[in-house]
Amino acid sequence: MGWDRRIFLPIGLIASMVASWAVAEDWLPPGSTTEMSGVKPAELLDPSQEFSGQILLGRLLFRSPSILGEKAVRIGMSCDSCHTNGHVNTSFYIEGLSDLPGRIDVTHRFWQAGFEDNTDNPIDIPSLRNVKNKSEFGTRVIFSSLPAFTRHVIATEFAGPQATGVEINALVSYMSSLDINGLDTRYIYEETDIDSPYTDLLFGPVEDQDFPQLDVLIDLIRADLGRQVSNDTEEEISEKIRLMLSLRTSAAAGNYETAKVFLEKLRR
Ligand code: HEC
């Protein structure tokens, strides 16, 4: 099919993009939409769990197309595109793979040639709220553990790269913090700055002078901030990204004292 071929075009164009995934439409059949339109569902988090560390890292990965591999990067699709805020993107639609919005065929060759079951079988995107209390995951292929199902989603359904144990644990921590009766993160964010919890994640690697870890985190945070850009936030977000890049440059040169100064500015 024509559109099938189009998504194999080079990815260089999008690689450097942080601010908008609008170009994703170029890689998808006309009429497709991976962005949730209208009001997004509330992100309900279990109030008994601290919203930090692993959960935050998992949240960043959940929102990063890179965890799902090259094809997902091209179309700007992350776990959050389907399970928006841990719930359901009721407008998700890919022409040829969806029969109705909010439904998708995850066993189609569009995702991975080897996992085509040769039937058109779109299914409802499930909510992940309360997923921690389930004992079975999936409908076609059933797994009894959330980490195992998460590996299956990345590797088999979406032909993503091999996820590390750290990534799987972080994703599972985030998903396990989603709760039916939880607090809406929007309220949490009102009390703090929209992204200051993320900046806290940089603290450990700066202290440990762990540049590779810092580099990965800065990329993830930067991309996530880029996705939050609007007219109102553009200036503030650009400033944060500028500070993070300066932090990275200092750290790359082994100058962690200066890196700490940038980190303090970020956390103000
Ligand atoms: C293209 C849309 C889409 C994307 C992207 C996606 N999912 Fe899903 N997810 C689904 C659908 C559809 C199902 C139902 C699959 C089934 O029942 O076999 C599902 C099922 C699940 C389940 C099992 C839920 C249950 O109650 O059984 C988990 C956990 C899950 N996804 C996590 C993830 C994670 C983590 C990512 C990113 C690494 C992700 N999903 C990316 C559509 C998606």
Q: Are residues 147 and 245 in the same domain?
A: no
In a domain, 2, yes or no: no
CA distance 71 to 5: 12
- 207-240: pLDDT as tens digits: 999 999 999 999 999 988 888 788 888 888 899 9
In a domain, 224, yes or no: yes
Q: Are residues 150 and 266 in the same domain?
A: no
Pocket test for ligand 1, best of 73, 143, 153, 178 (most atoms within 8 A of CB): 153
Domain boundary among 191, 215, 231: 191
- 139-196: pLDDT as tens digits: 878 999 999 999 999 998 888 899 999 999 999 999 999 999 888 887 776 655 555 6
In a domain, 12, yes or no: no
Other C-beta atoms lying within 10 Å of the C-beta of residue 247 = 24
**pLDDT recorded at residue 191:** 57
Q: Are residues 148 and 220 in the same domain?
A: no
Cβ atoms of residues 64 and 220 within 8 Å? yes
Q: Are residues 100 and 220 in the same domain?
A: no
Structural domains counted in the chain:
2
99-108, 123-132, 184-193: which has the highest mean pLDDT?
A: 123-132
In a domain, 10, yes or no: no
Give mean pLDDT, residues 63-69.
92
In a domain, 6, yes or no: no
79 Cβ closer than 6 Å to some ligand 1 atom: yes
pLDDT above 90 covers a percentage of the chain that reads 52
Domain boundary among 191, 212, 236: 191
Say what the pTM is: 0.87
33 Cβ closer than 6 Å to some ligand 1 atom: no
Q: Are residues 61 and 130 in the same domain?
A: yes
**pLDDT recorded at residue 25:** 58
Q: Which range marks the domain in which residue 148 is found? A: 21-34+42-191
In a domain, 16, yes or no: no
82, 179, 187 from 91: Cα distances, Å: 9, 22, 25
67 Cβ closer than 6 Å to some ligand 1 atom: yes
Domain boundary among 168, 191, 214: 191
Q: Are residues 136 and 260 in the same domain?
A: no
CA distance 83 to 130: 13
104 Cβ closer than 6 Å to some ligand 1 atom: yes
**φ, ψ of residue 103 in degrees (nearest 5):** -130, 150
Give mean pLDDT, residues 194-201.
75
161 Cβ closer than 6 Å to some ligand 1 atom: no
Pocket test for ligand 1, best of 125, 130, 140 (most atoms within 8 A of CB): 125
Give mean pLDDT, residues 52-62.
93
- Determine the distance separating the centroid of ligand 1 and the alpha carbon of 238, expressed in angstroms: 32
Residue of the CA atom closest to atom 11 of ligand 1: 125
**pLDDT recorded at residue 33:** 84
Q: Are residues 143 and 218 in the same domain?
A: no
Q: Are residues 62 and 177 in the same domain?
A: yes
- Determine the distance separating the centroid of ligand 1 and the alpha carbon of 6, expressed in angstroms: 25
- Average model confidence (pLDDT) for the chain? 84
Cβ atoms of residues 28 and 75 within 8 Å? yes
**φ, ψ of residue 158 in degrees (nearest 5):** -110, 10
In a domain, 261, yes or no: yes
Higher-pLDDT residue of 18, 206: 206
**pLDDT recorded at residue 9:** 35
- 16-42: pLDDT as tens digits: 343 344 455 567 777 788 888 888 999
Q: Are residues 187 and 209 in the same domain?
A: no
Q: Are residues 255 and 154 in the same domain?
A: no
Q: Residue 264 pLDDT > 70, yes or no?
A: yes
Q: Are residues 174 and 230 in the same domain?
A: no
Q: Are residues 234 and 178 in the same domain?
A: no
163 Cβ closer than 6 Å to some ligand 1 atom: no
